[in-house]
Amino acid sequence: MAMNDANGSRWRAQPDWRRLGPLAAGTLLVLLGAFCAWQTWLIADENAAAARVQQARDQAAQQLAQVVAAQHATVAKAASALDPTLLQGDRAALLAALHAQLPQALQLDVYSGNLDEVLHANFREFGYAKAAQLMGAQAEDGLPPMQSVSHGAGDRRLSLVLPLGPPQRAQAWLWVELPFAPVRQAFEAVSPAAGRLDLRQGDARSDMRILSNGSPGAEAEVEARAVPGSGFSVAAALPVAFIVLPRSWPLAALLALAGIGGGLYLLWWRLRRRDVVPAEPDIDIEEFQSSRQATRAAAPPARPAAAPPAPAARLTSTVAVDPVIFRAYDIRGVVGSTLTAEVARLLGQSIGTLMREQALTEIVVGRDGRLSGPELAGALADGLRAAGIDVIDLGAVPTPVVYFATYHYGTGCGVAVTGSHNPPDYNGFKIVVGGQTLSEDAIQDLYRRIAGNALEHGGEGGLRQVDVLPDYLERIVSDVQAERRLKVVVDCGNGIPGAVAPQVLSGIGCDVVPLYCEVDGTFPNHHPDPSDPHNLEDLILAVKQTGADLGVAFDGDGDRLGVVTKAGEIIYPDRLLMLFARDVLARQPGATIIYDVKCTGHLKGQVLAAGGSPLMWRTGHSLIKGKMRETGAELAGEMSGHFFFKERWYGFDDGIYAGARLMEILAGDLEERTPEEIFATLPKGVSTPELKIELAEGEHYRFMEKFRAQASFGDATLITIDGVRADWPDGWGLVRASNTTPVLVLRFDADNAAALERIQQAFRVQLRAVDPALKLPF
Please give the positions annotated as active site. 332, 420, 642
**Are β-strands 561-565 and 592-596 bridged in parallel, bridged antiparallel, or unpaired?**
unpaired
Q: CA-CA distance, 422 to 73, in Å (whole number)?
A: 62
The β-bridge partners of 367 are 396, 417
Strand, helix or coil at 390? strand
Q: CA-CA distance, 313 to 230, in Å (whole number)?
A: 67
Q: CA-CA distance, 400 to 653, in Å (whole number)?
A: 7
Burial label, 267 (beta-carbon count in 10 A; 0-12, 13-18, 19+): middle
Indicate if the alpha-carbon torsion angle 680, 683, 686, 690 is positive or negative.
negative
Q: CA-CA distance, 603 to 611, in Å (whole number)?
A: 13
Residue 186 burial (CB count, 10 A)? 19
Give yes or no for a contact between 576 and 561, defined as CB atoms under 8 angstroms apart: yes
DSSP string, 702-739: HHHHHHHHH---TTPEEE-SSSEEEEETTEEEEEEE-S
H-only helix segments in 387-436? 399-408
How far, in Å, are 269, 510, 570, 654 from residue 449 at the CA level?
56, 48, 44, 30
Give yes or no for a contact between 449 and 429, defined as CB atoms under 8 angstroms apart: no
DSSP string, 538-599: HHHHHHHHHT-SEEEEE-TTS--EEEEETTS-EE-HHHHHHHHHHHHHHHSTT-EEEEETTS
Question: DSSP E strands: which ranges in 113-214?
Answer: 147-150, 156-164, 172-179, 196-201, 208-214
Phi, psi of 695 (to 5 degrees): -135, 175
- Letter string b/e over residues 467-499, b meaning 16 or more CB atoms within 10 A of that residue's CB: ebbeebbebbbeebebeeebbbbbbbbbbbbbb
CA–CA–CA angle 169, 173, 177 (5° rounding): 150
Give yes or no for a contact between 225 and 62, defined as CB atoms under 8 angstroms apart: no
Q: CA-CA distance, 501 to 490, in Å (whole number)?
A: 8
Strand, helix or coil at 188? helix
Q: CA-CA distance, 749 to 731, in Å (whole number)?
A: 5
677: Cβ–Cβ under 8 A, 6 or more apart, which residues?
Answer: none
Give yes or no for a contact between 546 and 488, defined as CB atoms under 8 angstroms apart: no
Q: Among 615, 588, 610, which Cα is nearest to 721's?
A: 615
Cα–chain-centroid distance for residue 761? 40
**Are β-strands 390-396 and 362-367 bridged in parallel, bridged antiparallel, or unpaired?**
parallel
> In degrees to the nearest 10, what's the CA dihedral of 670, 671, 673, 675?
-20
Instruction: Give the CB-side neighbour count of residue 776, counting CA atoms within 13 A.
Output: 17
Residue 177 burial (CB count, 10 A)? 18
Q: CA-CA distance, 663 to 475, in Å (whole number)?
A: 16
Give yes or no for a contact between 412 and 404, defined as CB atoms under 8 angstroms apart: no
DSSP string, 241-270: ----S-S-HHHHHHHHHHHHHHHHHHHHHH
CA–CA–CA angle 385, 387, 392 (5° rounding): 35
